[in-house]
Each structure stands twice: as C-alpha cells, then as structure tokens.
Chain A
C-alpha cells in the first residue's frame, strides 16, 4: 500500500465508490459501491459492500453485508456479517453472527457466536464454542468443538476431531448444572459423516464415523462406526453397528 491512498469515514448515511483506500470506516449507514481494496474496513453501523472486498483487517461490530467475495488477513465479526459469496480469511474470529452462502477458507477459525455456511469450511484449526450450521464439508487438521449450541455439518473430516460439552474435565456442581442445561437447550452436534484419525465425541448424532482411534462419549447416537485401531463406547451412547476394518 502506498501513502497516497486516502481514508474515508462514513458516519451519516452515505455511499462511496469502490477503489483503493487505506482505511474505510462505516459508522452510520454506508455503502461501498464497487470492488473495495483497503488496509482496514470497520463497520460499526450498517455497512454494505456492493462488490468484492479485499482488505487486510476487517471488523464488523454492527451489521455488514457483502455482495461478493471477501478476502481478509484478519476478520473479526462481533456483530452480524453476511456474505453472498466465498470468504477467505487467514484468521476468522466470530463472536457474533456470520453467514455466508458460499464457502470459507481460512487457517484459523474461532467461533463463539454462530456461523452459518452454505458450502464448505476449510481451516488448519477450527475451534467452536458457539453454534454452527455447515451445508458442506468442515475440514481442518484440528477440530475442537465445545458444544454451546446446535452444531450441524453434512460432513466433518480431519486429523483430530474433538466434540465435547466443555473443556477438560473440571466438573464442579455449577458446571454440571450448566452442562445439563446446555444439553436440554440443544447443545448437540448433528453430522452425516465424520472421518478422522483421532476422534472423540460427546452428544453427537452421526450416521457414520470412520477413523483410527475412536472414543464415543456420553449422549452419542451413531449409526455405523468403522475403526482401524481402537474403539471405546461410553455406556450412555448408542451405536447401531461397529466394525474393525
């Protein structure tokens, strides 16, 4: 980026033409008409980009709508973001709501709010403590899900897959109550197929689970398990069929 690029701040209702900027900040109701390239885009009001959006840092704390592909190094959504296309962010943190009709590819994804994706999600590390709904494949080297809401995906695949109610076992009374509450409030995962090398699952419904070492924890309902090394099934889990391959 050169120094010549200007910055723009929309605080009332306004629109700005697409192009190359240093910083773009939308705090009122603002629109960017056309493709946007910028170092920073902040949306704290109601913002919309009518075009492709390529930025280094993207923050949405209000509502942000994107008409095309979004590319960012760092993307933080604490408000509501909606993308009509694919999102490509090296780091994606979502504590608000993030919806896209396309796919997400990233290196590190952290979801503590809610994430809805039409197609696939790809990352090196995927951590979720909120809820998600993924229409296609969720694929990452490490997938760690702490069930905080409804978690759905058509398929999950990766090296290590860990879906559980909360972090390492520190069961205090309060946590036990919270756990019971979460379960009744729908803190469970629903997946078609899960494939990985090391798999640990709790409160998960899946048609098929395939892997090397598989541990099925409490509250799971699994149709078929195929494992190559080891399998353990908790007494509060339901497995229709299991076979060593």
Chain B
C-alpha cells in the first residue's frame, strides 16, 4: 500500500501531533469509523493504514473541538447510527445553506404543515439542494423520486451509505428529423461505468452528504427529543 491514498498509523500520529491514547480514545467514541482501520502485513509485520484524506480531515475536525462535551456531541453525530425520528424545527434550519422552502414543497409534502423535518427529510432536502446546482427543476423532481423510492423500499439505508453516490445523467438521442434528450437519475457506486454518449451532469457522495447534514444540525444545537430512538427505519 505504497500509494499516497493511504497513510500508516504512525504517520497519522506524527502528521497530526497526537498520541496513541488519543487515537484509541476517539476510536472508542466512534469518532473514527471501524472501516477506516485497514490492517495490512508489511515487511515489519502488521501495520494499520487509513484512507489518508479522510483520516487527516477527521482528526483536524476533532482537534478543533476542544472541550470534551463538544466531542461527545460530535461522536453522536458522526457515528453510523442515524436518528431517524429526529425532528427539526424549520426555524433552526433557515440559517443553513441547504434550507430552501421551495424545495421543501417538492420533497417533503407531509411535513409541510408541521414545520419540522425528520433526519431523512433533511437528508433528502440537502441532497436535492446540492444537486439543484446543475439539475433542472424537472430533474430535481426526478432525483427526489429516485431517492424517496430507494429509501421507502429500503433499498437505500441511511446507516449504510458508504461509497454510494447519486448521479444525474443526460443522454442525447438524435435520429432522422428527431432529437431528444433524456435525463436519468441513478443511485450507485462511485465507479459506475457508462456508455460514451451518456454525460454525467453531476454526482454526489451520499455518505458525505449525510454527515454534512448531521454536522450542520449539531452546529445548530438541534437536540434529540426525549425518548427518541435511534436505529431502525420507521416513521
């Protein structure tokens, strides 16, 4: 694993100026996902490697959160557990970049009257907002239906998004006297391969998006309602 995509544990400690004690503590708190610890045999024996970019960014973020309380909050947010029952008052969201009242109409019709969002709604909303940079209104709707359907059918699980991307693609069709363009929304792995005529308009890392949403919500001081349960999808 000599390539620079990965970094050894030793080098992480040195680069970030942290100790083994801290690293293991953060791992126990769930601040560093289990899946990032990649054990490999090297000529000196077992060594642990990490995805370089991810681990350095994560540790920087942890170091920025000085006090222990904030760290626990961060742990809540980062851990794979998703509190699906979490409802967020709209007014807490207005300050967030991805809050868009028009988009809410599109993507969370049932929540409109209540002025709250579930974690799932927040995730869909933020995803659509991000995709709407390149997508046309009817494509946003298509992406919305794609996401919703995948979530409803439990084909897409908020607790297992690692590696999954949401793609928007377009394909030109032209024949004798007729030309058309079709839009395609796809949820798939990052390394999805396409025919040469299909253009990838935009794509988005779903796991990264979910984490961003959770961090944003944590920053807004969104607290879990008492008695809320985490884990299983049930609305």
Chain A interfacial positions (CB closer than 8 Å to B): 105, 122, 139-141, 157-160, 192-193, 195-197, 207-208, 210-212, 223-224, 226, 245
Contact = CB atoms under 8 A, between A and B. Distances in A.
Nearest to B46: A193
Given A139-B27, A139-B28, A210-B10, A160 B46 contact: no
A193 B41 CA distance: 12
Contact of A157 (B14, B20, B45): B20
B25 interface: yes
A159 B46 contact: no
Contacts of B10: 210, 226, 245
B113 interface: no
Interface string B24-35: 110110000000
Contact of A196 (B20, B44, B46): B20
Given A193-B46, A207-B45, A122 B20 contact: no
A210 B20 CA distance: 9
A158 B24 contact: yes
B21 interface: yes
Interface in B7-60: 9-10, 14, 19-25, 27-28, 44-46
Given A210-B20, A226-B10, 14 more contacts: A105-B28, A139-B28, A140-B24, A141-B25, A158-B24, A159-B20, A160-B21, A195-B9, A195-B20, A196-B20, A197-B20, A207-B45, A207-B46, A208-B44
Which of B19, B25, B27, B28 is the most central at the interface, judged by chain A CB atoms within 10 Å of its CB? B28
B44 A159 contact: no
A interface, over-half SS: strand
Given A139-B28, A210-B10, A158 B46 contact: no
Nearest to B44: A224
13 contacts: A139-B24, A141-B21, A158-B24, A159-B22, A159-B25, A195-B20, A195-B24, A197-B19, A207-B46, A208-B44, A210-B20, A211-B20, A224-B44
A192 to B, nearest CB: 6
A75 B152 CA distance: 40
B99 to A, nearest CB: 36
A223 B20 contact: no
Contacts of A140: 24
Given A210-B10, A226-B10, A245-B10, A192 B21 contact: no
Contacts of B25: 141, 159
B19 A159 contact: yes
A208 B39 CA distance: 14
Nearest to B10: A245
Nearest to B22: A159
Which of B14, B19, B22 is the most central at the interface, judged by chain A CB atoms within 10 Å of its CB? B19
B1 to A, nearest CB: 17
A226 B19 CA distance: 14
Nearest to A208: B45
A210 B21 CA distance: 12
Contacts of A211: 20
Nearest to A241: B44
B45 A196 contact: no
Contact of B19 (A207, A212, A224): A212
Contacts of B21: 141, 158-160, 196-197
Contacts of B24: 139-141, 157-159, 195
Given A158-B20, A159-B20, A245-B10, A122 B46 contact: no
